Copies of this chain bind each other. A is one copy, B any other.
Amino acid sequence: MQNQKRVVIESVKPQINCGEIPIKRVEYEYVNVNADVLVDGHDLIAVAVLFKHENDQKWQEVAMDSLDNDAWHARFCVKRQGYYLYKVQAWVDYALNWQKGIACKMADSQSVSIELLEGVAYVKAISAKATKAEKEYLKKVAKVFSDSKKYEEAITIAKSDKLQSLFRKYPKKQFANNSKTFMVYVDRSKARFSTWYEFFPRSASSKKNTHGTFKDCEKLLPRVAKMGFDTLYFPPVHPIGEVNRKGKNNDTEAQSDDVGSAWGIGSKYGGHKEINPSLGSTEDFKRLIKKAKKLGIEIAMDYALQAAPDHPWVKEHPQWFKWRPDGTVQYAENPPKKYQDILPIYFESKDYKALWEECLGILCYWIDCGIRVFRVDNPHTKPFYFWHWIISEVKKKHPDVIFLAEAFTRPKIMQQLAKQGFSQSYTYFTWRESKQELTDYIEELTQTELREYMRPNFWPNTPDINPFHLQGATQSKYIQRYVLAATLSSNTGIYGPVFEHMISAALEGKEEYLNSEKFQVCNYNWSQENKLTHIITQVNKIRHQNEALQQTNNVKFCTVDNDNLIAFYKWDDAKKNELLIVVNLEGFNKQEGSLQLPLYELGIAEGQQLFLNDLMTNNSYVWNKEWNYVALDPALPFHIFKLKK
């Protein structure tokens, strides 16, 4: 037989996969909770959100407000890293019902003398938890309610706000019901706001045809810091396999001086816990990490679970690879394609527990060396539940570790990786170009439940993707792509030197770089600074100074009557920092149009003055209409307006 609970709680949101998947927040972010709460009959109910950090003993409580159609809302702030729990609790509030009934009857001139006698019980019931002064007051109230000669005084007290506030302060939660308990994972703020620069350490040397080292990298740190990047991501820095090593441009025949793909990990020099001797030593790497930290830069490491044929694991743990009937080891393939320089890990191995532990060991090793950010290579080719386990394990000890999922694949696969625990995700931004494409995609990321668990990281390019629209593109197009990435997403990054220097020579008909740094050392003139360098620097500075750009979800697109102009309004949670961004999406010509201000979201009326300050040029404007003229030249194809009402 069921119990006597009367209140039904359902549709608690946010709720991902029926609560199996935690939502994500960063420290000091809010969780907006909505729920439908129902009771039979006409009784008043009270509803609250209960929440606590996993390590807390006691739940905190915040009252939910009633909205239309039996919906309720409250929000709470998460202040510490790690898991928070939350649930909705609801109960019929008999004391408030009694008070509401008595007020209705008095308004209808009915006698309430019996009701006053009933009230004695409600008053006594809340007395236990009350303060001393409150106790005395309640004792007096009970006496007055019981005394038929004090009817006038009694009814004044009965309907008083003072009594109501005590009923609310000490609710008697009879037959209270609870929703399922849901989880929030709270990351440090960098999970939501980060600016990445990627280069290959082997190309860090300023000398031509010289293999770069960590010491060369140290020299580049001030440049990266000055440009406003806070995360410096290196492709794998481990020993590179010598067996089946790839040559330049992915050639299966390597020359003797070829350095191979950084992702072909493992050789006689060691595996995932070793440093490629050409880059230096583990000590060099640790020193680099420390020096970077002093400049406000974190080194992000690549975590690529695969092995070159000469990786030490192949001999030490042959059961972690798949062996074929002819005694050879299975290399990576996606028939008919073959990747002979890489052996996939055999996750179906009977020895998988030891394998998983070793994979965890690699992360722990580098965490001990000072790493707190991992860019995970192709996570979508390893089991989802493996990621769930390994990320959870790491976060138990190190809640501040951030994992970026490098999965460019089908939407639900990418979403699933985020659900399993990745802190950030690469996205399709790299291929979203037109106003419609960008609007649809950003609205999908920010206006659906994706916003609760998937944090996009927008990259205009990567070593793997030289998008068609950047091949041979104008400088204006490069500026445009960086500004879009850096203002639409609070997490953004570039494959730096190639982007800055607008290197875009491609393999014919492909979105791949010619002479890709993936397979060779490249030489850059690191001392060179161009217009793009300066604009990136300035945009990064604006990102750091404007909270509206430090989260992705608060965005509202504005109508512009020119498809080559995109405009959007961004704000911080407190609406103290408001920006309007306009970008010319075309790379060659001046674009002009009429922009409709989102008056409702801005909280202003038609005719009200709006002051706009362009944070790039420091030009100022005053608008007082809903529709306003905008024009952008390819030379500086964007506005970032700071708004003042």
Query: Which residues of A are in contact with B by a Cβ distance under 8 Å?
Result: 1-6, 8, 10, 17-19, 36, 38, 40-42, 69-70, 100-101, 104-105, 107-108, 110, 114, 117-118, 120, 174-175, 324-326, 328, 333-336, 347-348, 352-353, 356, 380-386, 388-389, 410-413, 416
Contacts of A380 in B (CB 8 A): 40-41
- 26 A-B pairs with CB atoms under 8 Å apart are A2-B386, A2-B388, A2-B389, A3-B385, A4-B383, A5-B385, A6-B347, A6-B383, A6-B385, A18-B18, A40-B413, A41-B380, A41-B382, A42-B334, A69-B410, A70-B410, A101-B333, A101-B335, A104-B335, A104-B336, A105-B336, A114-B325, A114-B328, A117-B324, A117-B326, A174-B348
* Interface of A (DSSP majority class): mixed
Q: How far is the CA of A4 from the CA of B353 in the complex (A)?
A: 9
B325→A4 contact, CB < 8 A: no
Contact assessment for B4 and A352 in the assembled complex, using a CB-CB cutoff below 8 Å:
yes
Contact residues in B for A100 (Cβ distance below 8 Å): 335
Residue of B whose beta carbon sits closest to that of A7 = B384
Min CB gap A89→B, angstroms: 16
Known: A41-B380, A69-B411, A117-B325. 19 other contacts (CB 8 A): A1-B389, A2-B388, A2-B389, A4-B352, A5-B385, A6-B384, A8-B385, A40-B380, A40-B381, A40-B384, A42-B334, A69-B410, A70-B412, A101-B333, A110-B336, A117-B324, A118-B324, A120-B325, A174-B348
How far apart are the CA atoms of A560 and B40 in the complex, in Å?
41
Bound state CA distance, A38 and B41, in angstroms?
Answer: 45
Tell me the minimal C-beta distance from A178 to chain B in angstroms: 14
Contact residues in B for A352 (Cβ distance below 8 Å): 4
Question: Is the Cβ of A416 less than 8 Å from the Cβ of B38?
Answer: yes
A356 contact from B1, B107, B384, B385, Cβ within 8 A: B1
**A348 CB contacts on chain B under 8 angstroms:** 4, 174-175
Chain B residues whose C-beta falls within 8 Å of the C-beta of A386 in the assembled complex: 2
Q: Chain B residues near A117: list those with CB within 8 A.
A: 324-326
Contact of A38 among B5, B36, B413 (CB under 8 A): B413
Whether A70 pairs with B413 at a CB distance below 8 angstroms is yes
Evaluate contact between B118 and A325: CB separation under 8 angstroms: yes
In the assembled complex, the Cα of A69 lies from the Cα of B380 at a distance in Å of 16
Q: How far is the CA of A500 from the CA of B119 in the complex (A)?
A: 51
A149 to nearest B CB, angstroms? 17
What CA separation (Å) do A383 and B7 show in the bound complex? 8
A336 with B108, Cβ < 8 A, contacts A326-B117, A412-B36 known:
yes
Are A114 and B412 in contact, CB atoms less than 8 angstroms apart? no
In whole angstroms, what is the CA distance A382 to B3 when docked?
A: 14
Contact: A114 with B324, CB < 8 Å?
Answer: yes
Which B residue sits closest to A348, measured CB to CB? B4
**Of B2, B41, B108, B384, the contact of A8 (CB 8 Å cutoff):** B384
Q: Shortest Cβ distance from A117 into chain B, in angstroms?
A: 4
**In the complex, how many angstroms separate the beta carbon of A410 from the nearest chain B beta carbon?**
6
Residues of B within 8 A of A333 (CB): 101
Complex CA–CA separation, A410 to B69 (angstroms): 7
Q: Which residues from B are CB-within-8-Å of A412? A: 36, 38, 69-70
Tell me which of A10, A348, A352 has the highest count of chain B C-beta atoms within 10 A of its own C-beta: A10
* Contact in complex: B38, A353 (CB < 8 Å): no
Measured CB to CB, the closest approach of chain B to A209, in angstroms, equals 38
Q: In the complex the two chains form, what is the Cα distance from A110 to B340 in whole Å?
A: 15
Closest to A110 in B: B336
Minimum CB–CB distance for A24 against chain B, Å: 18
Q: A1-B353, A70-B412 are in contact. Are A384 and B335 (CB under 8 A)?
A: no
How far apart sit A118 and B100, CA to CA, in the bound complex (Å)? 78
A18 to B20, CA, bound (A): 11
CA distance A365 to B348 in the complex (A): 60
**Residues in B whose Cβ lies below 8 Å from that of A101:** 333, 335
Q: Which of A382, A385, A411, A413 has the most CB of B within 10 A?
A: A385
A335 to B97, CA, bound (A): 10
Q: Which of A40, A70, A410, A412 has the most CB of B within 10 A?
A: A40
Query: Shortest distance in angstroms between A333's beta carbon and chain B's nearest beta carbon?
Result: 8
Which residues of chain B have C-beta atoms less than 8 A from A107's C-beta? 336
Determine the distance from Cα of A249 to Cα of B607 in the docked complex, in whole angstroms.
58
Q: Could you tell me the distance between the alpha carbons of A334 and B383 in the complex, rounded to whole angstroms? A: 58
Contact A114 B2 (CB under 8 A): no
Q: Are B4 and A384 in contact (CB under 8 A)?
A: no
Question: What chain B residues lie within 8 Å of A324 (beta carbons)?
Answer: 114, 117-118
Bound CA–CA A36/B384 (angstroms): 14
A40 CB contacts on chain B under 8 angstroms: 380-384, 413
Most buried by B among A2, A101, A114, A174: A2
> Which residues of B lie under 8 Å from residue A41 when comparing CB positions?
380-382
Q: How far is the CA of A1 from the CA of B353 in the complex (A)?
A: 8
Q: Which residues of B contact A2 (CB under 8 A)?
A: 385-386, 388-389
Q: For residue A410, which residues in chain B have a CB less than 8 angstroms away from its CB?
A: 69-70
**Across the interface, which residues of B come within 8 angstroms of A334, CB to CB?**
42
Chain B residues with CB under 8 Å of A38's CB are: 384, 412-413, 416
A104's closest neighbor in chain B, by CB?
Answer: B335
- Residues in chain B near residue A36, CB distance under 8 A: 412
Least Cβ distance of A340 to chain B in Å? 13
Cβ–Cβ < 8 Å partners of A175 in chain B: 348
- What B residues does A69 contact at CB under 8 A? 410-412
In the complex, how many angstroms separate the beta carbon of A100 from the nearest chain B beta carbon? 7
What residues of chain B lie closer than 8 Å to A6, measured between beta carbons?
Answer: 347, 383-385
